[in-house]
């Protein structure tokens, strides 16, 4: 199946004006809108140019019980081809983003390591004690309660127990490598600033929408309690 762009900007304008004016009063209309929204989202994600004429042809054939212009085998081949192309595009974008993140992370860590009070461990973890606590130091077998805020090196916040208003409780070994190491350097009552290289965080896979591949992460971590 060959998908081609709209013939002109005027055709797109006509289509959009028609869609905008469509009523959404009945359940059928709302469901049709939802299906259109889902389809457009998928096309946009997979970088597919939407062909309205081909779409109308398919809808008409199905609704009027006509012979389909594409066989089931043709459909399967087209879907496999677009899935392959989409995967290749996503891999390319991820590789490009990864290279940018590695460069930015390296530059940040090199500069941060020179700041007063910053300690760099053998693994590459960087930490600075902001507040000194006098309590116990957790071990790998402990569970801890902490308050924390996580940001990217550009200042984008991606997580915060402070904003949720509730400290987080988890096993020392139940988090990323950088945290596992840092927690076992902290006394209860300590507050650390952490700069965690990507290999001690989420590495090439990243995490969620905000943490891309090979991203260096920054945390403010306050060790409140070892949970017995």
Q: Supply the residues annotated as catalytic.
A: 148, 158-159, 176, 202, 219
Burial 11-48 (b: 16+ CB within 10 A, else e): eeeeeeeeeeeeeeeeeeeeeeeeeeeeeeeeeeeeee
The rounded distance, in Å, linking the Cα atoms of 59 and 42 is 18
Distance, in Å, from the CA atom of 183 to the CA atom of 143, rounded to the nearest integer, reads: 10
Report how far apart the first and last C-alpha atoms of the chain are (Å, whole number).
62
Q: What is the DSSP letter of 221?
A: E
Identify the three-state secondary structure at position 29. helix
């Amino acid at each position: 199946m060959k998908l081609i762009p709209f013939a002109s900007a005027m055709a797109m304008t006509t289509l959009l004006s028609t869609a905008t004016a469509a009523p959404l009063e009945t359940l059928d209309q709302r469901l049709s809108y939802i299906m259109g929204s889902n389809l457009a989202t998928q096309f946009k994600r997979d970088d597919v140019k939407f062909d309205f004429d081909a779409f109308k042809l398919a809808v008409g054939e199905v609704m009027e019980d006509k012979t389909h212009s594409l066989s089931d085998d043709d459909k399967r081949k087209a879907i496999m081809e677009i899935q392959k192309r989409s995967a290749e595009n996503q891999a390319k974008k991820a590789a490009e983003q990864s290279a940018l993140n590695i460069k930015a992370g390296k530059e940040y860590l090199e500069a941060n390591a020179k700041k007063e009070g910053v300690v760099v461990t053998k693994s590459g973890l960087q930490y600075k004690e902001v507040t000194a606590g006098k309590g116990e130091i957790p071990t790998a077998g402990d569970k801890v309660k902490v308050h924390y805020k996580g940001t990217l090196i550009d200042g984008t916040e991606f997580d915060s127990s402070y904003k949720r208003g509730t400290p987080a409780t988890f096993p020392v070994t139940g988090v990323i490598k950088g945290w596992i190491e840092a927690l076992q350097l902290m006394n209860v009552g300590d507050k650390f600033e952490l700069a965690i290289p990507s290999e001690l965080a989420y590495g090439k896979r990243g995490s969620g929408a905000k943490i891309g591949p090979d991203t260096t992460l920054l945390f403010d971590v306050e060790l409140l309690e070892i949970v017995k």
